[in-house]
Chains A and B, each alone.
Chain A
């Protein structure tokens, strides 16, 4: 299973595009893109990327909430590590992949 797919499964993200992942996928601080349209539901977040709608579930909901403010990968991983059970290295890898996917969709941007 590719890293991207593993992250998608771990985060309960449906119909995600496969993206090229890098060793350090996202650097700097990232946040939700100002252009993203989305709705919060009790069990998921619906995000419109200008082409289609994606369904974020599980820990991805928590990541989306954190991205209301600019965050580094380390900050997100620290927060998730407090909330979810799992190996910290796996959480970091999955989160990096998720952020890269969200950035590829244009719904997350690097904060200036």
Chain B
């Protein structure tokens, strides 16, 4: 489902979090209605609206306030279940010698936001070092978790997969990520720089590793540009809040070695459009750094925008796979996955990848 752009009132609230509140602008309604509550929920930042209602910055009828609080409680309920699920998996990973790095909402709620209730999330996303991918998937299978689809082809997970999804009995989806973005930009990520200098946070009494601040900024950049079907306001806030505590020069090194300059410029432009020029500290990103080389610009064009499948994105990834044999294995795996994989996709009523991809290619060449 495509998430519509955030309404102006929500953007103003988010910008207030960064630069402090001024007078509510003209577009702020006299009274908050359920449409703002629903929009905030879709953008995973209902906590901001609830807090503003509580402080009297936003006025709402008792009915809207009560419904808002109940919906927020449902979201926070899910967050707590996800956190408890992650804590439960800690022992299984430790036993298998796997050192996951917690990504996205779970880590950001605790590391970037003044109050974890301001950042909602649904799944547990873990970055697994490439050499530990097989051990991590085995550990989850042994723990009784169900994989949503089998491996595309033998060796695919470790070499080419963006992520592997498991369903936990708690109802929480566990995504094991080999990389942070699909397609070419995912292959270009400098893994050594990405996982160096990790941060720590605790859930209850259990410690977890997270990406360091510069890597979290880069991940937020991917979320706003190529990793999600449509960007959410929470991703913009993730970026704005995290970049304030990151080292600019270290980030530049990571972004450029991951060939992500083009995406950084795009993400910062969206951030400025949504949250105002003050959301990006002046001089934080040198002008012209994001023009990108021809190959990066070409790769960017393979990413969907506002719907469709990710078939062209995956095919476009071939330009970033090093070596003829590896590239052949990658394209071969995309075009001819195992029969078990194909039958599981069909049983799950997922669209035929080849047909969808061809249709997209034709549409794009006409567009």
Residues of A within 8 A of B (CB): 33-44, 46, 48, 50, 53, 55
In the assembled complex, the Cα of A44 lies from the Cα of B76 at a distance in Å of 11
Question: B80 to A37, Cβ gap below 8 A?
Answer: yes
In the assembled complex, the Cα of A41 lies from the Cα of B77 at a distance in Å of 11
Interface size class of B (residues with CB under 8 A): 20 to 34
Question: A42 to B80, Cβ gap below 8 A?
Answer: no
Evaluate whether A55 and B117 lie within 8 angstroms (CB atoms) in the complex, with A34-B204, A35-B204, A42-B54 already known: no
* Count, A-B residue pairs, CB within 8 A: 48
Evaluate whether A41 and B117 lie within 8 angstroms (CB atoms) in the complex, with A36-B204, A55-B73 already known: yes
A41 / chain B contacts, CB cutoff of 8 Å: 50, 69, 72-73, 76, 117
CB pairs A–B below 8 angstroms (13 shown): A37-B87, A40-B115, A40-B117, A42-B50, A42-B51, A42-B53, A44-B69, A44-B73, A46-B76, A48-B81, A50-B84, A53-B80, A55-B73
A55 / chain B contacts, CB cutoff of 8 Å: 73
Taking the complex as formed, is B276 at the interface, i.e. its CB lies under 8 A from any CB of chain A? no
Q: Interface 1/0s, chain B 73-107, versus A by CB < 8 A?
A: 10011011101100100000000000000000000
In the assembled complex, the Cα of A73 lies from the Cα of B53 at a distance in Å of 34
Q: Is the interface of B mostly helix, strand, loop or mixed?
A: helix
In the assembled complex, the Cα of A46 lies from the Cα of B50 at a distance in Å of 15
Residue of B72, B79, B81, B204 with most partner-chain A CB within 10 A: B204
Question: A53 to B204, Cβ gap below 8 A?
Answer: no
Question: A43 to B69, Cβ gap below 8 A?
Answer: yes
Say how far A42's CB is from chain B's closest CB, in angstroms: 4
- In B51-83, which residues have CB < 8 Å from any A CB? 51, 53-54, 69, 72-73, 76-77, 79-81, 83
In the assembled complex, the Cα of A41 lies from the Cα of B87 at a distance in Å of 22
In the assembled complex, the Cα of A53 lies from the Cα of B83 at a distance in Å of 12
In the assembled complex, the Cα of A40 lies from the Cα of B73 at a distance in Å of 10
